């Protein structure tokens, strides 16, 4: 079964607002994550991260600070478990924004919210997202 795994590359962002809160987005109404998604053809990781942040939150004004690192995980399955048909390599970038109003554009991401730094990990659904965030928390 593992031979049929699709390997994909994704990019996303840890977005911090002027109040020091972090952007967290709802996926398909049943899970929470940092904004991220597939890197499309000929798109840079920076462009992909900015596009995904906009689609999932409505935020356009982003100041790129630096790359935070990357990690791998399987995509979330329908029941909240891992779907081993797709292994994602996710690169995360750090951004700052002055925008506060959240208006997701993508219907698959119906809600976005600003969350206190120390409460983000508790909200993230996927254990690998949580693990990565906790690892970089003291750097942001």
Residues of the chain with pLDDT > 70, as a percent, come to: 96
User: How confident is the model over 19-57, as pLDDT tens digits?
Assistant: 999 999 998 888 899 999 999 999 999 999 999 999 999
Report the predicted TM-score, pTM, of the whole model to 2 decimal places. Answer: 0.92
pLDDT of residue 84: 87
Could you tell me which residue, 74 or 57, shows the higher pLDDT? 57
Cα distance between residue 139 and residue 78, in whole Å: 33
Distances in Å between the alpha carbon of 124 and those of 1, 2, 4, 120, 128? 28, 26, 28, 6, 9
CATH topology assigned to domain 6-136: Nucleoside Triphosphate Pyrophosphohydrolase (3.90.79)
Cα distance between residue 125 and residue 67, in whole Å: 22
Q: Give the pLDDT band of residue 1 (cuts 50, 70, 90).
A: very low
Sign, Cα dihedral of 100, 128, 39, 63? positive
Length of the chain: 140
> Does the pLDDT value for residue 15 go beyond 50?
yes
pLDDT of residue 41: 92
SS3 content of the chain, % helix, strand, coil (to 5): 25, 40, 35
Q: Average pLDDT, whole number, for the chain?
A: 93
Domain ranges across the chain? 6-136
Could you tell me which residue, 110 or 35, shows the higher pLDDT? 35
């Amino acid at each position: 079964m593992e031979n049929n795994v699709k390997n994909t590359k994704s990019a996303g962002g840890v977005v911090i607002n002027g109040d020091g809160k972090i952007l967290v987005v709802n996926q398909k109404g049943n899970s929470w994550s940092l904004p991220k998604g597939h890197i499309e053809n000929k798109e840079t990781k920076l462009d992909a991260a900015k596009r995904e942040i906009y689609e999932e939150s409505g935020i356009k004004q982003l100041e790129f600070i630096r790359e935070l690192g990357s990690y791998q995980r399987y995509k979330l399955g329908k029941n909240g478990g891992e779907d081993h048909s797709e292994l994602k390599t996710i690169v995360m970038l750090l951004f700052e924004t002055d925008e506060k109003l959240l208006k997701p554009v993508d219907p698959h991401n119906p809600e976005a919210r600003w969350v206190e730094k120390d409460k983000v990990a508790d909200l993230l659904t996927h254990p690998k997202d949580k693990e990565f965030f906790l690892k970089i928390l003291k750097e942001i």
